[in-house]
């Protein structure tokens, strides 16, 4: 066999293998057309039923959508009406707000004016309060002075009544004394040899040796008269009258006759018995 024959033999062998592979592939990919057609018809029927169901569902959905659209249109109309009402109410509220704002501005201005007036009134009230406190203090002081004056007046009234009674008593004593002096023939300018028999008490004692006694010109005292001083029966000394007044006198302690210390309240006699 020649080389060319070998080549052709090899080619034929290769082509045989190729065709065999193609035949196997074609056989493997072979389909049953009837089964395919039945499956297709079944799928078409299913699709038709599905389409019918979908069409019914679509119609139902369209009906529901129409109803929903009508409800939405009604709701939209109602909302539109509410919107118009809201707009109207908003305009009214805006007008009312403007009025309230103006009223508020006026109230603020009024409040400022009121605050100023209140401050002025408060200042006036504080001033009046201070004046009232001062007046109350003055009133209390005047009342205290009135009470003090009333007490003083009552004391003076009592003193006055006492002095009136004392005057009446002195007038009676003077009248009786004058009658006795007239009987004795003694006149105011008649010189007396000694003091009448009277007694009194020491009113004050001075460190200089001078003593104030309760006997005076009305009791018959004259300058130069002597008085004896004693306490509880104890003789204390002798006094010599230096200055005479109507109801009291000032006398000097005669140291030569002194037997004890003379104190306020000691008894004074013009004559000893």
CB 208 within 8 A of CB 252: no
For residues 78 and 75, give the distance between their C-alpha atoms in angstroms, rounded to a whole number: 5
Per the prediction, the chain carries an average pLDDT of 83
Q: Give residue for tokens 């104890």.
A: 234
- Range of weakest confidence among 3-17, 28-42, 107-121: 28-42
CB 215 within 8 A of CB 246: no
Structure tokens at 17: 């293998």
For residues 160 and 153, give the distance between their C-alpha atoms in angstroms, rounded to a whole number: 10
pLDDT given for residue 211 in this prediction: 95
CB 220 within 8 A of CB 198: yes
- Range of weakest confidence among 12-16, 68-72, 112-116, 190-194: 190-194
pLDDT given for residue 1 in this prediction: 57
Integer CA distances (angstroms), 34 to 25, 30, 185, in order:
21, 12, 199
CATH architecture of 192-269: Beta Barrel (2.40)
Q: What DSSP letter does each residue of 103-158 carry, written as one string? A: HHHHHHHHHHHHHHHHHHHHHHHHHHHHHHHHHHHHHHHHHHHHHHHHHHHHHHHH
Residue pLDDT, tens place only, 172-223:
877 877 776 666 555 555 555 567 888 999 999 998 899 999 999 888 889 9
Residues across the chain = 273
- Range of weakest confidence among 139-143, 153-157, 183-187, 254-258: 183-187
For residues 45 and 50, give the distance between their C-alpha atoms in angstroms, rounded to a whole number: 8
Using the Cα atoms of residue 115, residue 119, residue 120 and residue 126 in order, give the sign of their dihedral: positive
Q: 249 burial class (0-12, 13-18, 19+ CB within 10 angstroms)?
A: buried
Nearest to 239, CA basis, from 201, 197, 273, 193: 201
Residue pLDDT, tens place only, 16-65:
888 778 777 766 665 555 666 677 778 778 878 888 888 888 888 888 88
pLDDT given for residue 149 in this prediction: 83
Phi and psi (nearest 5°) for 205? Answer: -125, 130
User: Could you give the 3-state DSSP secondary structure of residue 237?
Assistant: strand
pLDDT given for residue 134 in this prediction: 85
Strand partners, 199: 269
Pairing relation of β-strands 267-269 and 210-213?
unpaired
Higher pLDDT, 203 or 74: 203
pLDDT given for residue 214 in this prediction: 95
Structure tokens at 75: 């709701």
Give the alpha-carbon dihedral of 6, 11, 13, 19, to 10 degrees.
Answer: -170
């Amino acid at each position: 066999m020649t080389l060319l024959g070998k080549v052709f033999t090899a080619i034929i062998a290769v082509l045989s293998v190729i065709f065999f592979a193609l035949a196997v592939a074609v056989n493997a990919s072979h389909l049953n057309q009837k089964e395919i057609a039945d499956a297709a018809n079944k799928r078409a029927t299913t699709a038709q039923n599905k389409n019918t169901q979908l069409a019914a569902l679509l119609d139902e959905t369209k009906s529901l959508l129409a109803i929903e659209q009508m409800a939405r249109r009604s709701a939209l109309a109602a909302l539109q009406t509410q919107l118009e009402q809201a707009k109207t109410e908003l305009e009214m509220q805006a007008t009312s707000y403007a009025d309230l704002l103006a009223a508020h501005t006026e109230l603020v201005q009024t409040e400022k004016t009121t605050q100023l007036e209140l401050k002025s009134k408060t200042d006036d009230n504080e001033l009046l309060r201070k004046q009232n406190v001062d007046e109350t203090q003055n009133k209390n002081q005047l009342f205290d002075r009135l009470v003090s004056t009333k007490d003083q007046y009552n004391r003076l009234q009592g003193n006055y009544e006492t002095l009136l009674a004392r005057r009446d008593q002195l007038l009676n004593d003077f009248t009786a004394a004058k009658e006795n002096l007239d009987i004795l023939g003694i006149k105011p300018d008649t010189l007396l040899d000694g003091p009448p028999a009277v007694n009194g008490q020491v009113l004050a004692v001075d460190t200089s040796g001078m003593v104030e006694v309760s006997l005076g010109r009305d009791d018959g005292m004259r300058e130069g008269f002597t008085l004896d001083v004693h306490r509880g029966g104890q003789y204390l000394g002798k006094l010599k009258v230096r200055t005479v007044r109507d109801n009291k006198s000032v006398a000097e302690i005669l140291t030569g006759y002194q037997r004890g210390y003379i104190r306020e309240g000691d008894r004074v006699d013009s004559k000893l018995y």
